[in-house]
Amino acid sequence: MSVEKSLLGKDTSYPTQYQPDILFPIERAPSRTAYQDVAGIYQGKDWWHVFELSWLNANGLPQVAIGRLTLPAQSPYLIESKSLKLYFNSLNFTRFESNEKLVETVEKDLSNAAQATVQLELIDANHLAVSEPQGISLDQQIPERLSEHPDATLLKHDADGQIIETQYFSNLLRSNCPVTGQPDWGTIFIRYRGQKPCLDSLLAYIISYRQHNGFHEQCVEQIFADIWQNLQPEKLMVYAAYTRRGGLDINPCRVSHADWMPEQPVRLARQ
């Protein structure tokens, strides 16, 4: 089913009864066609934080928590964000005999939509820690050439040919929702082992997404694939911490090697 048929960008009433059929899956395969031979785009996770998570306990009293969802990158489908927001709102007046029953229900519904195992962790509403970005910031670099759209030819190696292992980050990632055109903002992390990239060119490449239309997960996979194919590192991780929209933030991560997969998502002040 095409995303144009989803609820994204349309006026919608908020459900007050449990409505699992409102979830709208989007097939991952079409956006991966150009990168289907890059194994890393299938390796990793999409972490979501759900800030509008509320339900009723067995006595009918409202409960709240922050939800952390984990979707595997190899799932055939991602879940469109507005439908996910409406799904969680449909739980607001639903009684669950225990927190475990809530988690069981949500995991079942989302796993059915994604056609893969989705996990939900409940976090106390006051206990989601904020951390600082780790690594070398790219944001003070001055690129020689800029592009208005993603351009992998911007990516170059540093002239000295040094082999390095480090993590870079930039707060300048911006792209657009492919349906509504609304901007998506994020901090991107690139952990890299191999011949040192030219940092000016790496920032120029990140900036080139500013007018690009793509879902969060698709942008991260394209960035991963372009760096992997053009700079040919030995190991690579690309992770984006997107800012919150509609009570949700999305944090896709793709890795070339399983041992570079973070144990859990970071949480930044911007989110």
Does 12 have pLDDT greater than 90? no
Q: Residue 179's pLDDT is what?
A: 86
Half-sphere exposure for 21 (CA within 13 Å, toward CB): 1
Evaluate if residue 4 carries a pLDDT over 60.
no
Catalytic residues: 177, 184
Mean pLDDT across the stretch 117-126? 97
Residue 41: strand, helix, or coil: helix
Q: How many CB atoms lie within 10 A of CB 119?
A: 16
How is the beta sheet containing 44-56 ordered, strand by strand?
Answer: 119-123, 62-72, 44-56, 248-255, 235-242, 183-195, 163-176, 136-137
- Interval 51-62 mean pLDDT: 97
pLDDT at 11: 61
pLDDT single digits (tens) 162-210:
999 999 999 999 999 998 999 999 999 999 999 999 999 999 999 999 9
The per-residue pLDDT for range 76-101, each reduced to its tens digit, is 999 999 999 999 999 999 999 999 99
What percent of the chain has pLDDT above 70?
96
pLDDT the model gives residue 127: 93
Say if residue 9's pLDDT is above 60.
no
* CA nearest to 246, candidates 3, 5, 7: 7
Residue 3 has pLDDT above 90, yes or no: no
The pLDDT of residue 6 is 46
Q: 106 pLDDT exceeds 90?
A: yes
Q: Which domains occur in the chain, in start order?
A: 3-123 (3.30.1130.10), 136-260 (3.30.1130.10)
Instruction: Give me the residues paired with residue 240 across strands.
Output: 188
d(CA 183, CA 238): 20
Which pair of tokens denotes residue 250? Answer: 């999305």
pLDDT at residue 140 above 60?
Answer: yes
